[in-house]
Structure 1
Amino acid sequence: MFWADKFAADASGDRIIVNDSKTPSGRVHVGSLRGVVIHDAIYRALKHAGKPVTFTYGVDDYDALDTVPHYLDQEKFAPYLGHPLCNVPSPDQSAAPDYAKYFMGEFLEVFAKLGVRPEIYYLRDLYRSGRMNSYIDLFLQNAHLVREAYKEISKADRPDNWYPFQTICENCGKIATTTVTDYQDGKVFYTCQPNAMDYVKGCGHSGWVSPFDGNGKLPWKVEWVAKWEVVGVSIELAGKDHSQKGGSRDVANSICRKVLKKNPPTHAPYEFILVNGTKMSSSKGVGSSAKEIADLLPPELLRFLMLRTQPRSVINFMPNYETVTRLFRDYDNLIVKYQSDDVKDEKAQEELVPLIYSQLNTDERVQSYHPFDFSTLISLLQILNLDLEAEIAARSEKTLTEYDWEIIRDRIRVGKKWLQDYADEEEKLVIYQDAMPEKAKHLTKAQVTYLQALVTNLSADVNWEGEALQTLLFSTSKQVEVSQKDAFAAVYYTFLNKERGPKAGSLFSYLEKSFVLQRLQDAIALNQ
């Protein structure tokens, strides 16, 4: 059974709420999409099972601005460090009224592209409307139980006069620097501590203030529990960093049981998405943003990237040639399998579930098409003076339908964007068609010997396909006892003016045989 369907099978109740949330501290990285798509898949599985389900998504915009991202004006935003994100000005007032809505707006555009449509709520509204008031009072009245949970679960000592609340300082507007040390008659006593945080100083102001109606917020582990109650959450997974033993989720679970006398929502951890092996951070601007990757990959492929891997396994996404072309190839292979008649056994059907959940529609329809190899498309895009669509039509085994062309044209867009924004120099295929590359004029004697043998072998009646040509290139190097490194460097120098490049066999397959033979002969002549 697919992992999302297992959650659906175990869930029960008259109103099942699947919830996820995000702090919009900056440009949202692609890693945050994993939680979004995982929760959306669980929501869809519940719908498919005929259970009453709602998908909600919270924007934690009462959290403090703790870093100014490198891509923003440091001078403009540094004065707002420590302020609630919803009280920080927007980087572009014409796009959004404040900082939180600006960055969340960009993220929600990605939701729409991916066919994810949760009910969105903002923490500012839960606090300012008074919906959090009764829970603020409850946790302040039971501060000793909250302190107990922190101590027992995460070994974090809180002093006897620590209360689980942070006010917005009436003097400086910061929320990160305030400490509450008393609660009486519906008011808290707080101090804006000068040395509370290492990234910003408090102003030293102190006083009594009501904690209700948006005057401050609960610490996030306590706030998490209050949200579960206010929103009515039934299922909420969390990233590995929050799900470790003694971590944030364990603390929240304990607070829920101690103070509310209830079991917390269903939970399971999910792993990170790494970009080039690095965990990403929104505020630090590390990694590719969700918007950037959503602008690159077709939405079904981006969903597929998230869903084909079990939530407990790391996804290491490197937008390089090998990873991107393999993603397209794996998806296309499932499309072919979906279209075939040979998917009757249970295992074959299970393999197709990630494909089905990757579609933008929620009715499990997969619109079939005739795949065209994406790696071939990237190569064809780089050949000058080529009628691309005519070449694609000639290489396709079947007559392409309008929908086939719709898919292919979008992939042409992806290929162009990948070449422009992501391809390394050695992944690019800039073929010198009109002039001999400079580096081809300085081949070694062994390399010339290799090219001579290669001309002889290629002149025969050979299969002009990528893999067959690659095999021939290898066997020729063994025939004349030239190292593979030197042999392939001779080919790349002769056609690309660089030492390395894409598969040489594939490179030849995209070119006319007569052109390849003539270029090799010209390079031999230049070096004799």
Structure 2
Amino acid sequence: MFWADKIAADAQENQVVNDSKTPSGRVHVGSLRGVVIHDVIYRALKYAGKSPKFLYGVDDYDALDTVPHYLDRQKFESYLGFPLCNVPSPEDGASDYAKYFMGEFLEVFEYLGVKPEVYYLRDLYRSGRLNTYIDIFLKNAQLVREAYLEVSKARRSDNWYPFQTICENCGKIATTVVSDYNGSEVFYTCKPDATDWVKGCGHSGWVSPFDGNGKLPWKVEWVAKWDLLGINIELAGKDHSQKGGSRDVANAICRKVLRKQPPFHSPYEFILVNGTKMSSSKGVGSSAKEIAALLPPELLRFLILRTQPKTVINFAPNYETTTRLFRDYDTLIEKYQALSPALQQATALPEELKPLLYAQLDGVVKPYHPVELSTLISLLQVPHLDLQKEITARSTQPLNEYDWQIANQRIAVAQKWLADYADEEEKLVIYLDKVPEKVKDLTQEQVAYLKQLIHTLANVPAWEAEALQTALFATARELEMQQPLAFKAVYLSFLGKERGPKAGALLSYLERDFTLDRLKTVTASFTPV
């Protein structure tokens, strides 16, 4: 059974699924894994008839703890330690820092067909909805301290209270330490040495902890949200799910203080880009918005869902990884088309095809006749080529309106990939008007191969990629020549470099007469060393 369907099958009625994010900077593609995982659990619960609700929290009362490299440090450094919702927006159009960066992320939600009920922590605090929990945890501070010590071995002093006020003097929340509670007010100090990244102002005094004057530490806040919003299911990333880690501490606080069971939890792994874990504040990797600008929404969802949640996804938007993603998706589309109508139903679909189903924005798989992304990347780089005509000629069947919609979508992907992600080595520059200078690097053995290839290609019945690829291989075998050496001779003759796309495909983009003339020119000009 697909992992999300299993969670849904084991769940009770009226489940509330929750996920959340601290908008400390541009939200990176790694954060999309939790978003899509929770969205799919929500959809699986709907398929199972469990009447679910999907919530997404914006933890905008967290402090600004670093200035991302892409922002004006001088402008934002003075706001370090402030709640994110109290930091000004980097640009016009948003009321504050948190709304600015969350707005960008929510655009990606919409793009991916993810439609949770979004709530902001500022609203829960300022409206007083969390007041009861603030009072409970302050009155039971000793139990919270015990949970930290028992689970994570973190010792809190006897006068430590689980709350941070917003300093009335300097506006920081990261530097305040609460040391007493009288039932209506807390005593706090804005400590100069509370953190090693921003200094407190030294102010101290009594203040009400209610109605937005401060916040619970996030592990305690987590528990308050679970109970206030009736959350039943919330997964967490591997970093929060280690033994003795954040989730274990929150679970212990939930049981010890509220005497309730925490929501269902299962850890999920990171998304890496070129082997690097995403970081919103450090600007490492690609932002969710940038990856969404490259991949169609179904393909971005598929990228996340084709891998089990507990397995790392390492996505590098290079040629091989990107084109393989599209090929894998097309393969599942073909398998779906081969099923009987009865097996195409969501509840009857084979497990192998569940990532395809859950990748759809509207939950409906709509088959199409695929045009390979790798072919489009190559065709776009062939000068003077009528792309639509070439796609039509290469198709094994007439393309309908939806087929062309998908094809045009992929043309846009190919253009974006070539413009923003392709290395020079991956770009296809065909020498049409002259022979590349690099043919001087050909060996006598390679020239012999090209001479033989002239005769072979002249007699290929169909000038198409697979037939040409077969002919290239057959000629190399006939001369008992190493295949890489043979293909290198082809690339040098047309591209002026040692590597390129699939050689049969490359030649199929060119006219037969042009190809034969080029090979004759190259071999005729060869002078043995």
TM-score (norm 1): 0.95
- What secondary structure does 2:254 align onto? helix
Q: Give yes or no for the alignment of 1:365 onto 2:383.
A: no
Quote the residue 1:356 is aligned against: 357
Amino acid at match of 1:11: A
Partner of 1:53: 52
Q: 1:255-310 CA distances to partner (integer Å, 9 max, x unpaired)? A: 00000000001111111111111111011111111111111111111111111221
| CA deviation string 1:358-383 (max 9, x = no partner) | 1111xx32222111222112111111
Candidates 307, 314, 320, aligned match of 1:316: 314
CA distance in 2, matches of 1:291, 1:512: 40
SS of the residue corresponding to residue 350 of structure 2 reads helix
**192-201 vs 381-390, which deviates more?**
192-201
Q: How far off its partner does 1:330 sit?
A: 1.4
Report how far residue 109 of structure 1 moved: 0.4
Aligned to 2:515: 516
Partner amino acid for 2:106? L
What is the CA distance between 1:198 and its match in structure 2? Answer: 1.8
Deviates more, 1:141-150 or 1:315-324: 315-324
AA partner of residue 249 (structure 2): V
Q: Which runs of 5+ in 1 are unaligned?
A: none
Amino-acid identity (%): 72
The answer to whether residue 416 in structure 2 is matched with residue 417 in structure 1 is yes
Residues 437-491 of structure 1: per-residue CA shift (max 9 Å, x gap)? 2222443333323322332332333654434434443454455465545433332
Q: Is the 8 A contact 1:426 1:502 kept in 2?
A: no
Alignment partner of 1:70 is 2:60: no
Measured after TM superposition, the shift of residue 197 of structure 1 is 1.4
Partner Cα separation in structure 2 for residue 418 and residue 246 of structure 1 = 42
- For 1:332, the equivalent position in structure 2 comes to 330
Q: Hey, what's the Cα distance between the residues in 2 that align with 1:481 and 1:335? A: 40
Q: How many residue pairs were aligned?
A: 524
Which residue is equivalent to 2:114?
116
Q: Does structure 2 conserve the Cα–Cα contact (< 8 Å) formed by 1:90 and 1:102? A: yes
| 1:444 alignment counterpart | 443
After TM superposition, list the pairs within 5 Å mapping 1:48-447 onto structure 2. 48-93=47-92, 95-341=93-339, 349-361=350-362, 364-447=363-446
The separation in 1 between residues aligned to 2:352 and 2:22, in whole angstroms, is: 34
Aligned 8 A contact 1:222 1:255 in 2 = yes
Partners of 1:450 and 1:470 in 2: how far apart? 14
| Structure 2, gaps ≥5 residues long | none
Out of 476-485 and 434-443, give the one that drifted further. 476-485
Give the letter for the 1:314 counterpart.
V
On the 8 A contact 2:460/2:468 being kept in 1, the answer is no
Once residues 376 and 315 of structure 1 are traced to their aligned partners in structure 2, the CA distance between those partners, rounded to angstroms, is: 25
Q: Distance between the aligned counterparts of 1:502 and 1:469, measured in 2?
A: 13
Residue identity matched to 1:359: Q
Matched residue type, 1:357 = Y
CA contact (8 A) 1:188 1:209 kept: yes
Q: Could you list the per-position Cα deviations for residues 337-390 of structure 1 after superposition, in whole angstroms to 9, with x for gaps in the alignment?
A: 2222468779972222211111111xx322221112221121111111111111
Q: Do 1:25 and 1:103's aligned partners in 2 also have CA atoms closer than 8 Å?
A: yes
Q: Which deviates more, 58-67 or 445-454?
A: 445-454
Shift of 1:505: 2.4
1:82 alignment partner AA: G
Structure 1 stretch 206-215 or stretch 217-226: which is displaced more? 206-215
Is the CA contact 2:64–2:83 (under 8 Å) kept in the aligned structure 1?
A: yes
Are the counterparts in 2 of residues 442 and 527 from structure 1 also a CA contact under 8 Å? no
Task: State the shift of 1:164 in Å.
Answer: 0.7
8 Å contact from structure 2 (residues 278, 285) kept in 1: yes
- Equivalents in 1 of 2:205, 2:311: separation in Å? 49
Compute the TM-score of the two structures, normalised by the length of structure 2.
Answer: 0.95
| Aligned-partner Cα distance in 2 for 1:17–1:385 | 56
- The match for 1:2 is 2
One-letter code aligned to 2:231: V
Backbone CA RMSD of aligned residues: 1.8
Amino acid at match of 1:39: H
